[in-house]
A and B are shown apart, each in its own frame.
Chain A
Amino acid sequence: MLEVRDLEVAFGPIAPLSGVSFSLAKGETLGIVGESGSGKSLTAMSIMGLLPLSGGRITAGSIIFDGQELTTLAEPVYRKLRGGRLGLITQNPMTSLDPLQKIGPQVDVVAKLHLGMTSREARARTIEILGTLRIPEPKTICDRYPHQMSGGMKQRIVIAMALAADPDVLVADEPTTALDVTVQAQIIRLLDDLVKKRDLALVLITHDMSVVAQTCDKVVVMYAGRAIEHGPVEDIFHAPQHPYTQALIGCIPKGLSEDEHLTGIPGTVPTVVNYPKGCAFHPRCKAAQAICSTDRPGFVTKGQSAAACHFAGAVQ
C-alpha cells in the first residue's frame, strides 16, 4: 500500500532526514520510534506532502502509494489524496482544531470535499463516525466549539476528520503524547480497532516502545534523521541488533517489581546542525569502537530485520 525508499529531506542546505525506508500493507501497523528530534515527524509530513508548509522539500528517494509516486505528484492531485486516501492525526489535539469554527463543519468538510456529499449527507456521516469513535451525544457535539471539549475528545474529533473520507493510509504523529495516561490507552485501543475493522494501513509515530509492542506489526527505529533498524516487531523486541534499539527497549518499565530501576539513555540526541560523523549514535554508545566515529555503518540483514551497526548483533 505504502512504500518509502531512501527518503531524504532538506531545509535549505541542511538535511535533517536521510536514508529512511519502509513498506506497509493494508491492515498493518508500522511503528516509527525514536526520541524527539530524530526525524519522525518529518517522515509523516513527507508522506502527507506537507513539507513545503514548513519550508522543507524532498531531495531524494521515493514514496509510492498504491502504485503512485508521490514525491513528483502535482499539488492539485496530491490535495485529492490528502484527507481522501491519506489521513493525518497530529500531536497536539489542543491546537489542532480551528478555535473559531464549530466541530460539525470542521469534520463535514472532508466528506463534502472527497466524497462529493451534500451538507446534509456529510453531517449524517460525521455523526455516524463520531458515534463509532465512542463520542457521547455526537449530534450536540457538532454544535460545540473546540475550546468546550477535553483533550481526549478533541483527539477523537481529529481522528474523525482523518477517517471521514475512508482513507487507506492513516498517519498518526504521536497521537497520544499530549494526553493523560488513561486517555492515551483509550486512543491507542481505538486506533488498533480501526486498523482491524477498516483494513487501514497505519503509520504510528511514537517515542514510546511499549506502545509499539502493543500495537505494531513492524517497526522502524530512527536516530538523528536516519533509520537505524527495522523489522517485524517480534524480532526487534526479542533480538534487537542495534545498541540504540537495545537501549530503547531497556527503557520500558517491565513490571511493578520493587527493585526495578528505570533506566534512560545517557547523553542527548544530537541536533540537525551537529550530527556526528560515522554512526550518529557512537558518542552515546557503550560498545563504540574507533570505526564507529569515522565510517557510517550499512545495514546488516538478519532474517526479516536489518540494523545499521558495524557490530550488529555482536553486542548485547
Chain B
Amino acid sequence: MLIPVSISISVVIFMIVHLLPGDPIDNLIRVGSSPDDRARLIAKYGLDQPLFTQYFRWIAAMFQGDFGDAIVLRRPVADLIAQNLPYSLQLGGLAFAFSSIVGIIFGTISAVTRSAAVANFMRGFILLGSTVPGFWLALLMILFFAVRLQWFPVSGARGWESLVLPVLTIGFGGVALVARVTRVALMDVRREDFVVLLHAKGLSSTSILMRHLLPHAMLPVVTILALRIGWILGGAVTVEFVFGRPGLGSLLIRALGQRDYPVVQACLLMLALAVMIGTLVGDVAQAAMDPRVREAKK
C-alpha cells in the first residue's frame, strides 16, 4: 500500500511543479545576457531533457540524499532543508504535543462536566478554535502579547520565548479539533452497553472514565491526530510566515513565489513524508490499542 502511494505522491509532486508557469531561468538571467547563456543554464539544470528522464534523474538523486540545487538561492536544496527542517520539527512537534494533551483534557472536561457554564465555555472554545483563521489569530497574538504586553518577541526564532506564540496559535486550532473529537467519542462510548455493566460492578465513575472510556475515546482521536499531522504542519506554513520564523513553511512560500522548482519539490516531499509517517504511526497505534484491529491485521 505504502509503495504505490509514495510513487504516486512523488509523480504528483513532480508534475505539479512542472506545470507551474513562469520560468526560474528568467529570474537568473541578467538583463542583456545572450541566448547562449540561457541555453547553458537550461542544460545545466537538466530542464531540456524529456519530463520522463527528468523524473527518474530526480528520484535517483533523491535516494542519494541529493535534492539538486536551488535555482534561485543557488545552494544545494538538501542544505536548505537541513537548515529549515529542525525549526519546523520543533514548532510542529511542540504544537502537536500541546494540541493532543490540552485537547484531550478539554474534550474530557466538556464531556463529563455537569456544570452548564463549563460546558458552554468549552463549546464556545471549540467553535472559536475551529473557525478563527490561523494567520489572523497570529496577528492578534502579536498585537496583544508581543506589542502591548511585550511578554514575547514579535518574530524570529531565538530562544524558547519565540516559540510560545506560534505554538499557542497552531495549538488553538489543534486543541479545538482534538477536544471536539474526544468529546464526541466519549459521548458515544458512554452509550455503549458495557458501561452499564461497569457501573454494576461497583466501579467509580472516575475509574470507569480513566480505565475504560478514555482508552476507547482515544481510538478516533489517534486516527484524527495521525491524519492531521499534515494539517498541523500545514498550519505551521501560515504561522511561520506571520511570525517570520525559518522553517519548511516559510521556505515553501518563498520558493513558490520565486518558482524555485527543486525547493518546492523538496518541501512538498517532506510534508508528504510527514503525512505518510503519520498514517503509519496511526495504524501502529491503533493496533497497539485495539485487539480487534490486531486480529484483523493478522
Contacts and interface: CB of A to CB of B under 8 A. Distances in A.
A100 B192 CA distance: 13
Given A100-B290, A101-B212, A147-B295, A84 B199 contact: no
Contact of A82 (B192, B194, B199, B292): B199
A107 to B, nearest CB: 9
B202 A90 contact: no
A95 interface: yes
A98 B204 contact: no
Contacts of B202: 79-84, 110, 113-114, 165
A90 B197 contact: yes
Contact of B196 (A53, A80, A84, A161): A53
B212 A98 contact: yes
Nearest to A113: B202
Contacts of B196: 45, 50, 53, 88, 90, 96
A92 interface: yes
Contacts of A82: 199-202
Contacts of A148: 295
B46 interface: no
B194 A96 contact: yes
A159 to B, nearest CB: 11
Interface in A86-103: 86-88, 90-92, 95-101
Nearest to A165: B202
Q: How large is the interface on A (under 10, 10 to 19, 20 to 34, 35 or more residues)?
A: 20 to 34
Contacts of A50: 196, 199-200
Given A79-B204, A113-B203, A147-B295, A98 B198 contact: yes
B36 interface: no
A201 interface: no
A110 B201 contact: yes
A98 B204 CA distance: 16
Interface string A38-78: 00000001001010010000000000000000000000000
Contact of A161 (B192, B197, B212): B197
A100 B293 CA distance: 10
A145 interface: yes
Contact of B197 (A88, A99, A100, A113): A88
Nearest to A145: B291
Nearest to B290: A100
Contacts of A161: 197, 201
Interface in A283-305: none
Nearest to B204: A79
A158 interface: yes
Residue among A45, A91, A96, A113 with the highest chain B CB neighbour number at 10 A: A96
Contacts of A81: 202
B289 interface: yes
Nearest to B218: A100
B114 to A, nearest CB: 11
B215 interface: yes
Residue among A50, A97, A100 with the highest chain B CB neighbour number at 10 A: A100
Contacts of B180: none
Contact of B216 (A45, A84, A96, A100): A100
Contacts of B204: 79
Contacts of B290: 99-100
Contacts of B292: 99, 145, 147
Contacts of A165: 202
Given A96-B193, A96-B194, A147-B292, A109 B201 contact: yes
Contacts of A114: 202
A101 B197 CA distance: 14
A54 to B, nearest CB: 9
A279 to B, nearest CB: 32
Interface in B157-214: 192-204, 212
A33 B104 CA distance: 44
Interface string A129-173: 000000000000000010110000000001001100100000000
Interface string B277-298: 0000000000001111001000
B101 to A, nearest CB: 21
Contacts of B212: 98, 100-101
A114 B202 CA distance: 8
14 contacts: A50-B199, A79-B204, A82-B201, A83-B201, A83-B202, A86-B200, A90-B196, A95-B194, A96-B194, A113-B201, A114-B202, A147-B291, A147-B292, A148-B295
Given A82-B201, A92-B193, A109-B201, 17 more contacts: A53-B199, A79-B202, A79-B204, A80-B202, A86-B200, A90-B196, A91-B193, A95-B194, A99-B194, A99-B290, A100-B215, A100-B291, A110-B201, A110-B202, A145-B292, A147-B295, A158-B197
